Amino acid sequence: MTYVRADVTDAAQVAVAVEQATGCGVPLRVAVNCAAITAFAPILSDQGRHDLALLRKVVEINLIGTFNLMTLAAEAIAKTEALPDNARGVVINTASIGAFDGVGGTAAYTAAKSGVVGLTLPAARDLAAYGIRVVAIAPGLFDTPMFGMGQATDDMRAAAGATVPFPKRIGHAAEFAQFVIDVVERDHLNGEPIRLDGALRLA
């Protein structure tokens, strides 16, 4: 396994990472976009209006960064040898259930993740000619460093898990990874944002 540090908003850095991936001796067929940040800021509060710079930063990383890696990876995947049905690979982008159930104070995050959802179908249609699928996974509450803004306690995890209809817990990163594998292995999954949330709907 090779780790290449890259800023997803920087095309040159991502191009280097993609080049490293294509040079490891096997065809590049899968790209998974997971880079994101979150932010809590109401549009208007006693402290004033939402900071425009914060919105730009969240959109730059969560949406433009996703688009950047998707396009550079797709360009590389398109050069691989076609498999049956002209299949060459898949790009899996990470959205969020917040894209559908945005809560107060998350306008920037919700707008960016809604953009990731909105990318899914047109990107799948654009890349169909190259045998590349595009799918978005919209996770619910998952135990990652982003959960609880990096300050999650066991009590916070338990309280959050109690809001999930079933199973009554937050998700594990390994479950997300397994679902990525499921998407990769099912060629007819394409152009679709899929919720992975235990039936949770944010209030």
DSSP assignment of 91-147 equals EEEE--GGGTSPPTT-HHHHHHHHHHHHHHHHHHHHHGGGTEEEEEEEE-SB-STTG
Q: Catalytic residues, which ones?
A: 109
Mean pLDDT of the chain: 95
Task: Average the pLDDT over 188-202 and give the result.
Answer: 97
Question: Does residue 203 have a pLDDT over 90?
Answer: no
Q: For residue 148, is pLDDT > 70?
A: no
Say how far apart CA 36 and CA 16 lie, in whole Å.
20
pLDDT digits (tens, 9 = 90+) for 156-178: 889 999 999 999 999 999 999 99
How far, in Å, CA of 67 to CA of 143, rounded? 25
Per-residue pLDDT tens over the stretch 23-33? 888 899 999 99
Q: What is the per-residue pLDDT for 149?
A: 60
Listed in sequence order, the residues at least 6 apart from 10 whose beta carbon sits closer than 8 Å to its beta carbon are: 68
Question: In this predicted structure, what is the pLDDT of residue 6?
Answer: 95
In the beta sheet, which residues pair with residue 90? 30, 133
Residues 75, 127: contact at Cβ < 8 Å?
A: no
- For 31-79, the pLDDT digits (tens) are 999 999 999 999 999 999 999 999 999 999 999 999 999 999 999 999 9
At 121, the amino acid letter reads L
Q: What is the CATH number of domain 29-196?
A: 3.40.50.720
The dihedral built from the CA positions of residue 192, 193, 194 and 199, taken in this order, carries a sign that is negative
Q: pLDDT at residue 152 above 80?
A: no
- Running DSSP on this structure, what letter comes out for residue 168? S
Task: Tell me the mean pLDDT in the region 189-196.
Answer: 98
Is the pLDDT confidence value at 194 over 90?
Answer: yes
Closest CA to 70 of 108, 124, 131, 27: 124
Spatial separation of the C-alpha atoms in residues 27 and 76, rounded to whole Å:
9
* pLDDT-based confidence at residue 9 (cuts at 50, 70, 90): very high
For the chain, what are the domain ranges?
Answer: 29-196
Q: Which residues pair with 33 in a beta bridge?
A: 93
Residues 76-121: pLDDT tens digits? Answer: 999 999 999 999 999 999 999 999 999 999 999 999 999 999 999 9
Q: pLDDT at position 125, please?
A: 98
β-bridge mates for residue 192, sequence order:
135
Q: With CA atoms as reference, report the closest residue to 109 among 73, 146, 164, 72.
A: 146
The pLDDT of residue 63 is 98
